[in-house]
Amino acid sequence: MKRILLLNCGPHSDASHGYRLAREVLAATGIGPVSITERDLVQSPLPSIGRDYAIALTSGAAHEVPEFACSEQLIVELEQHAMLFIVTPMHNFTVPATLKLWLDHVIRINRSFEATPQGKVGSIHDRPTFVLVSSGGFFAGERARQADFLTPYLRYALASIGISDVHFFPLQGLVFGPEAVAQAVHAAGQQLSEKLHAQLSFNLANQPVMTA
């Protein structure tokens, strides 16, 4: 069974263009049994990073302390899935706060990465990761009129824990009316289907996955 962790990060939850497209493409793959775990970061918000967590983190507390319970749960969940699929809007040129908070829980020193004299070294096995990025305007290609801090930031943040097989799919121009939305969904859907089909057929079954 191929296991996919689907993170849904936007305020529209299951009504978002990105989520609906992701589910449609996943349903249409037709490649053997796939199990999808969904985490909706708006419907089920994560706890904010409080003082207790910050103190535990910087004082080198053991993994088992209650302050790390949520962080630990999210890291184990990630480790248990052969593929990560992030569905996110662009908010003010970068990731929405929901996804940033997930990253703050998952990127943890001495757990998901080690600090070495050469820099941070990830401890999570690499795995194919798709990022479907919806935006009202354009941030990629010739119509882009705004900075994109989302793509480089997320690529860097995921690489810090060992995930570098990351593929971005823009779903952009969503404020320009139904025709523009239909075009954007069609273009992103084609890219996604091709890449997903390739991943599920050839790569996913061979990914090493740690279990808790």
Ligand X SMILES: Cc1cc2nc3c(=O)[nH]c(=O)nc-3n(C[C@H](O)[C@H](O)[C@H](O)COP(=O)(O)O)c2cc1C
Burial annotation 105-116 (CB, 10 A radius, 16+ → b, else e)? bbbbeebbbeee
Sheet containing strand 2-8, edge to edge, reads 34-40, 2-8, 83-89, 129-134, 166-171
Q: Could you tell me how many residues of this chain bind ligand X (CB under 6 A)?
A: 16
**Among 86, 89, 99, 112, which residue sits at the site for ligand X (rule: CB under 6 A)?**
89
Question: Comparing C-alpha atoms, which of 148, 25, 45, 143 is closest to residue 87?
Answer: 25
Residue among 22 and 34 whose Cβ is closer to ligand X: 22
CB of 101 to ligand X, least distance (A): 15
CB of 134 to ligand X, least distance (A): 3
CB of 189 to ligand X, least distance (A): 13
Residue 34's DSSP bridge partners are 2
CB of 128 to ligand X, least distance (A): 21
Part in contact with ligand X (CB under 6 A); list of ranges 15-23, 56-64, 115-123, 200-208? 15-23
Question: Comparing C-alpha atoms, which of 144, 122, 124 is closest to residue 133?
Answer: 144
- For residues 169 and 184, the answer to whether their CB atoms sit within 8 Å is no
**Among 12, 23, 167, 197, which residue sits at the site for ligand X (rule: CB under 6 A)?**
12
Based on C-alpha coordinates, what's the Rg of the chain? Answer: 17
Site residues (CB under 6 A) for ligand X, limited to 18-37? 18
Residue among 137 and 162 whose Cβ is closer to ligand X: 137
What separation in angstroms does the CA of 80 have from each of 36, 40, 72, 156?
Answer: 11, 17, 12, 22
Per-residue x/- track, 119-158, ligand X (CB under 6 A): ---------------xxxx--------x------------
Q: Where does this chain bind ligand X (CB under 6 A)? A: 10, 12, 16-18, 89-93, 134-137, 146, 174
